Structure 1
Amino acid sequence: MRAEKNGFVLHLEGTWMEISNKYGVLEYGDVAANQEEVPDGYTEKALDDYISKHSVVEKSSPTCVKRVAFDKESKRYIQLQAVLPDDEKYWQVQKYDNELVYMGTDWTGCQYRDELEKWMCANFDIEACLTAEVFRSSLGDCTNGGISSTRDTLYILSETKGPFKPEDIRECVYIEWREACGEQYIDCKPAYCSGRWYMSGGNFLYTSDSRFREITESMYPIPIHDRYEWR
């Protein structure tokens, strides 16, 4: 028996179950003593339950801590989500790529939140960023639902660290420098789904904080390239 949803696949053969996605097998094991004890509709229900426990939530909570980190191996930003499951004593850190695809879980051995924060900083390159304001056109939104269409501020990811720790990769941008028509062009793009072909949506990013110039090498607002045509 097989069920597929949101990039996950649950395969059940006899009593043996495996759940996988593009990162490989994520969970496996026997689900019953014998095949007759496996209930009808098990695959769909079990997969839905797994997905609900391995998806990024919108906001942090007393039992969920979200952070953005830089993954040196893939050279991309990733989403971290530390959770304290029901009836568990120790925090677990779920890892997601920049498309929010679940990659795996690390056991921390931490019981308390302050311990967890130190553990995450010791084991991941946690981002500390500068915030900047979004400036929009009065003519309406042209981003096709880009990240600057609903947010008044965004986090700038940079080697020049700032005072704030972003929780969600969907709130973050990185600076891009490139040559255009013989001149250097500066813009920023979403860290979320960074492989997409983004273009300018008409909005700009700026803050009067002096670190903005250090990070962007510009004293003026920079275009936000967050429009994606195939949304």
Structure 2
Amino acid sequence: MSRRGLRPPSPGRWLTLAALLLAAGPVQTHPHAWIDLRVSLHFEPRGDLRAMRQEWILDPTYSHLLLQDMEASHPGLDLDTALDEIGTRMLADLRDYDYFTEMRRAGDRLAIPDAREGRLEWRQRRLHLSFELPLQQRRPDAETPLEYRVYDPGYWIEVLHDPDDVIHLDGGQGCTTRMDPPRPEPWLVGYAATLDRKQRTPVEDLGRAFAERVLILCDS
């Protein structure tokens, strides 16, 4: 069981991040990883939602492993420059996976735009990856509510909102959010617990069953 009551996912498939950071060796000895997610929603003065900003805070152990590999693969390069280079490559990699982000309006899945203002930082002994997703400007009301999930499709990495933070609404007067915790079926919990890092799950989009669902709704 993970720190939040779910199976701890293996980081053996961090997209190609493992390859980018040459982390395959250390990752084999630490098959657990998670991300604390922080989200800010930015609204226009008239109430249209214009952007979603995410901050991913990697767990301490995995952060240190990746930092060590980054230093080994970039000898002599100062930390800030190395972080900028790796952060850019991480976001380019995540683009093929919609940055682990699913958004729906009135039930219809939305296309995820290219991220902007990406940054990778080392703070408080953890790696922080932040970026912004520009959104089609529209106010989420009762007729067109907006919802999102952030998750690793293969469920090798657990992504849940930071329990010590809240979803921030910047300018969203009359808007609220509601977070529904994941409720995977018992057989999926048992199945996920049997997977090791070398296995590919035949269950499509397994991570979605373990993802939090956030509904964004504004007064009409």
For Structure 1 versus Structure 2, the TM-score category normalised by the shorter chain is: under 0.3
TM-score w.r.t. the length of structure 2 is 0.25
Structure showing the higher helix proportion among its residues = 2
- Bigger relative contact order (CA 8 A; separation at least 6): 2
Structure showing the higher strand proportion among its residues = 1
